[in-house]
Structures are given as C-alpha cells and as structure tokens.
Homo-oligomer: A and B are copies of this chain.
Amino acid sequence: MNDHLSLTFNALADPTRRAMLNQLSRGEANVSELAKPFLKDMSLPAVTKHLKVLEKAGLITKTREAQWRSCKLNSAPLKEATDWMEQYRIFWEESLDRLEVYLKSITNNKKSKGKKNGIKKQRK
C-alpha cells in the first residue's frame, strides 16, 4: 500500500530501521556511519535499501556533500502516525484506570470503608 500512513508504519516495522532513526535522533549521519552497527549482519547495499524505505516514507532526507550522503531525521511522519494513534488513547487510559481501581481494591489501605474481606480466594 502506498498511502502515507502505511508507508510510515511499514518503515517502522523493522528493528534495523528503527535503530537507524534512533541514531539519527542523536544527530545527522552519513551512510557509512549509519551502516557501521549493522555491517556484521548485512551488506552495505542492504543498508542502502533500508534507507530508501525510510526516505520514501519521508522519515529521512539525504543531502550530498562530496561523496558523502548526510541523512537527517524528519519527524513529520512520526507526528502523523502518533496523531493517528491518539484516537485510541482513551482505550489504554481506561484500561489503566481499571487497573488502578483494581489495585486499590486489593490494597487494604486507609479509607477502605466497608466491604472488608473484599477479596476471597479467586483461584479455582
């Protein structure tokens, strides 16, 4: 699929590419620098391909300086992806709320008004 959100999520669905973004979050880097941590696991052309995926998703931009390509993080697609996820925030927050309620229910702290013995053996 080639809608933008799909391109972004797809680019993020690989630990090598996420690690590359991570490195770029600490500053620009050229291809050899980005490749270094991965050259035990894969060839340089493989790195080039990963960078292409990131580039097509708009997550990085490359500028050339002599024979070096400097890569720079572009966070706009990450914002877009996060914005999409926001619509689900209410779900995990309500889960956390329920967890909190549960944790309170099993903690016999002050203000545990009434309902003593609120916990019975629950395992079959």
Contacts and interface: CB of A to CB of B under 8 A. Distances in A.
Interface string A85-103: 1111101100100000000
Contacts of A1: 13-15
| Copies held by the complex | 2
A5 to B, nearest CB: 7
Contacts of A112: none
A113 B84 CA distance: 40
A12 interface: yes
Interface stretch (A38-46, A61-69, A75-83, A114-122): A75-83
A25 B75 contact: no
A78 B73 contact: no
Contacts of A8: 13
A11 B84 CA distance: 14
Interface of A: 1, 3, 5-10, 12-15, 18, 21-22, 25, 73, 75-76, 78-79, 81-82, 84-89, 91-92, 95
